[in-house]
Amino acid sequence: MASQPSRTAPPAKQANARPSAATPELPSAVPLMALSTGFWAFKTLAAAHELDLFSRLAGGAGITAAGLAEALGLHPRPAEMLLTGCAALGLLEKADGRYRNTPLSDAYLVRGKPYYFGGFVQMADKRLYAGWGRLAEALRTNRPTTWDPAVQSSIFDGEDPTMLALFWEAMHSLSTMTARKLGEAVELGRFRRLLDIGGGSGAYDIELCKQYGALRATVLDLPHVAAIAARKIAEAGLTDRIETAGGSFFEPLPKDHDVHLLSMILHDWDEAKNRALLRRSFEALPGGGAVVISELLVNDEKTGPAPAALMSLNMLIETEGRNYTPAEYSAWLEEAGFRHVETVWFDAPAANGAVIGRKP
Ligand SMILES: C[S@@+](CC[C@H](N)C(=O)[O-])C[C@H]1O[C@@H](n2cnc3c(N)ncnc32)[C@H](O)[C@@H]1O
């Protein structure tokens, strides 16, 4: 007699069995792989930039893996892997066996181009990457990881000259294209004198004065930074229209400007300092003047967008600030006395919009 199957034994597995209605389909794990390896893409870009790949390929007839190996003294294996990786990331394209820059790498990763972005790539690699490696520590302690609060009072105080040079090249990279987009999105034609509060390298002033022929500007920043801006302004041939002022925005602001710009300033500081700075801006502006806050704005629901939300975490490892929302900025502006507050959206590396307040 054939033995009966035990009542507790599992049913034999059917070939090509499909999940039953009781076993829900799982979401794809592919997005997790992409998130977990995001740094692979970044490091490929950073290494290619460090080896000067894109500047080397600019305007040329392209390169083979063997040619790159010879030019850089690399083994052919990594040379081919680097070229393949850059092509996969949209940084190179291949035709007739040779790799060339794409429009993206040609416009932004070739040294000497007007909107060169390599300074930021370098800072992300040499400074931010290590700080982000200690993100969990920053989350636990609510303290930055790129500098020591026991030694410095803020990111802007002290630091070694190499890091400072890296920071300013990075800010200039990030800000030049953003300034162009800001100038296109926000109508500044009725203003005559811009005060760029914490204006850094002067990237905004240079771009905005190029766009608005009647505009004059002042870069207000710490004295050693104002000196960096003066050099950039001279290089741009705009010393007759842009001046620099060494000083602190924690002091009363100069009164002879009809528009103030705060680009990537308020995300560096806590709410109390920001509200006080906006009050100083209001006091210094004439009636009819305006303040423009340019930032990667977090949405009012605090669910994104990713560039702003991640920049906010970057502010955790670097500063006491965070990336704020249009609702938060609008409330502070109204409190300071500004009216007709509006948010204008645009798409740029260092800002996705501007919150504008007008002094009645
Ligand atoms: C993130 S950078 C932004 C630079 C510039 N606005 C841009 O978007 O390219 C912040 C700037 O604030 C400046 N800063 C920090 N503390 C300052 C202070 N007390 N007074 C004036 N500038 C200050 C820094 O030197 C730096 O240039």
Q: Residue 299 C-alpha to ligand 1 middle, in angstroms?
A: 24
Which residue's CA lies nearest to atom 3 of ligand 1?
Answer: 264
Q: Residue 265 C-alpha to ligand 1 middle, in angstroms?
A: 6
Which residue's CA lies nearest to atom 20 of ligand 1?
Answer: 248
Q: Which pair of structure tokens corresponds to residue 47?
A: 């290494």
Q: Average pLDDT of 225-253?
A: 96
In 3-state terms, the chain is what percent helix, strand and coil (to 5)?
45, 15, 40
Which residue's CA lies nearest to atom 8 of ligand 1?
Answer: 263
SS3 category, 165: helix
The model scores a pTM over 0.85: yes
Q: Among 14-18, 139-143, 178-182, name the one with the lowest average pLDDT.
A: 14-18
User: What number does the ligand 1 atom closest to the CA of 203 have?
Assistant: 9
Q: Can you give the pLDDT at residue 20? A: 60
Q: Residue 47 C-alpha to ligand 1 middle, in angstroms?
A: 29
pLDDT digits (tens, 9 = 90+) for 156-170: 876 577 777 888 888
pLDDT digits (tens, 9 = 90+) for 53-72: 999 999 989 999 999 999 99
CA 315 to mean position of chain CA atoms? 11
Q: How far apart are CA 131 and CA 253, in angstroms?
A: 33
Q: Annotated catalytic sites, by residue?
A: 267
Pocket test of ligand 1: the residue of 152, 265, 273, 281 to mutate, having most ligand atoms within 8 Å of its CB, is 265
Residue whose pair of structure tokens reads 């090509």 in the numeric block? 16
pLDDT digits (tens, 9 = 90+) for 245-288: 999 999 999 999 999 999 999 999 999 999 999 999 999 999 99
Q: Which pair of structure tokens corresponds to residue 97?
A: 């066996």
Q: Which pair of structure tokens corresponds to residue 296?
A: 């990667």
Q: Which residues line ligand 1 (CB under 6 A)?
A: 156, 171, 175, 198-200, 203, 221-222, 225, 248-250, 263-265, 268
**More reliable by pLDDT, 209 or 163:** 209
Average pLDDT, the chain: 93
**Percentage above 90 pLDDT, the chain:** 85
Q: Residue 215 C-alpha to ligand 1 middle, in angstroms?
A: 21
List domains and CATH numbers for the chain: 40-108 (1.10.10.10), 118-358 (3.40.50.150)
Q: In 59-202, which residue ranges form alpha helices assigned H by DSSP?
A: 65-72, 76-88, 103-108, 118-123, 129-132, 135-141, 161-185
CA distances from 80 to 8, 40, 54, 65, 85 (A): 57, 16, 15, 5, 9
